[in-house]
Amino acid sequence: MSDQPILQLDNLSIALRHKEQDYPAVSQMNFSIQAGEVFGLVGESGCGKSLSALTIAGLLRPPLHVTQGQVLLEGQDINRLSNRDMRRLRGDRVAMIFQEPMTSLNPLMTIGDQIGEMFVLHKGMSVRQARLKAIEALEQVQVPSPERRIKDYPHQLSGGMRQRVMIAIALACDPALLIADEPTTALDVTIQAEIVELILELCKARGTAVLMISHDLGLVARMCDRVAVMYAGHIVEQRPASQIFTDPRHPYTRGLVASLPLLGRRLQEGRKKLTEIKGVVPGLLERDEACGFASRCPRASEQCRTLMPPVTALEGISTIRCYHHD
């Protein structure tokens, strides 16, 4: 791997502007992803995962805005790019797969035109050349009869097929970074594994870095090399996947791992029902300078309720944000 990461977030903070006041949505976010690495971002809804993804893809819109920090894609700060330059970059060097393909695909364009558009816009191909490349792209994502399918419209395909088309569009120009935001949420459970394996196989063959955003811990454990756990806009723990699921340190991470419905766990631990984390993630208008997890944490002290814990380095490049992680 190259020493320079494909993606690097340096102290990134995002806020919501409301009545001339900024409310922090994501705070002091730091992580990097190397070429060919699969990096997981997990947490409950409202933690800031998708906002981070939209910022990396240059899709953040008012009243949300970046208040500080950098998003470096192959060493280039995307926050300093014009809208025109960002459009050139998006789809070419960074691509995104959304969780609901039916709302992401254009219902008025054929599948072939939507895939081919990527080759016309970013590679300067003719319409005829782009059509042939679209057929090839559908073959790569294992869509049967691609010569016929390029003439179909999104509503004529199943959910799994539409997501395969989204993967084909995202990887058409061999981007350096693929952002997958809950890519299997809208799919039948029987085909989720197929889509995950397809993404991994294609990205590994290309050396594409992947940012996998999910609340499905089983999916993240199976796919990712490293994982960052988010809570209330902060990364609270960042470690290799093999460690974070076998030896979680932050109380929130421990709660997430303990809530997994693993076969045999109830018998081994004598539990009669699934473990839960009581309470909810604080809203944007409810956050203050204290630890956001303090109201739900069994280990919380008075210090936790008044002051945000600093980021502490663990072994290697792992980090944690907690006063009581030991």
Residue 107 domain-assigned (yes or no): no
pLDDT in tens, 31-61: 999 999 999 999 988 899 999 999 999 999 9
Distances (CA, A) of 243 to 221, 324, 325: 10, 18, 14
**Are 146 and 135 contacting, i.e. CB atoms less than 8 angstroms apart?**
yes
């800031």: which residue's tokens?
A: 48
DSSP state of 172: T
Is 207 inside a domain boundary?
yes
Q: Look up residue 90 and give its DSSP letter.
A: B
Report the greatest alpha carbon distance in the chain.
67
Whichever domain contains 75, its CATH number is 3.40.50.300
Structural domain count, the chain: 1
8 A C-beta contact, residue 111 and residue 149: yes
* Residue 152 resides in a domain: no
Mean pLDDT score of the chain: 91
Domain that includes residue 25, residue range = 7-93+175-320
Residue in 276, 281, 310, 312 with CA at minimum distance from that of residue 294: 281
Per-residue pLDDT band at 1 (split at 50, 70, 90)? very low
Indicate the residue type of 302.
E
Output phi, psi for 236, to 5 deg. Answer: -100, -20
**What digits encode the pLDDT tens for the residues 227-238?**
999 999 999 999
Name the 3-class secondary structure at 31. Answer: strand
Tens digits of residue pLDDT in 129-158: 999 999 999 999 999 999 999 999 999 999
Segments in the chain forming alpha helices (H): 49-56, 83-89, 101-104, 111-123, 127-140, 146-149, 159-171, 189-206, 217-223, 241-244, 251-258, 265-269
- What is the rounded CA–CA span in Å between residue 15 and residue 10? 16
Phi-psi region of 58 (alpha: psi -120 to 50; beta: other; left: phi over 0): left
- CA pair distance 59, 87, nearest whole angstrom: 10
Order of strands across the sheet that contains 38-42: 94-97, 177-181, 209-214, 38-42, 226-231, 234-240, 319-320, 312-313
pLDDT value of residue 272: 61
Does a structural domain hold residue 99? no
Q: What digits encode the pLDDT tens for the residues 60-84? A: 999 999 999 999 999 999 989 999 9
Backbone angles phi, psi at 187, to 5 degrees: -105, 155
Question: Each residue of 190-233: pLDDT tens digit?
Answer: 788 888 899 999 999 999 999 999 888 888 888 899 999 999 99
Residue 108 maps to a domain: no
Whether 215 is in a domain gets the answer yes
Residue 123 in any domain: the answer is no
Residues 153 and 236: their CA atoms lie apart, in Å, by: 43
CB 10 within 8 A of CB 72: yes
Task: Determine, yes or no, domain membership for 156.
Answer: no
Position 156 scores a pLDDT of 95
Question: Once rounded to an integer, what is the mean pLDDT over residues 97-110?
Answer: 88
Token code pair at residue 99: 């969780």
The owner of tokens 């109830």 is 266
The pLDDT > 70 percentage for the chain reads 96
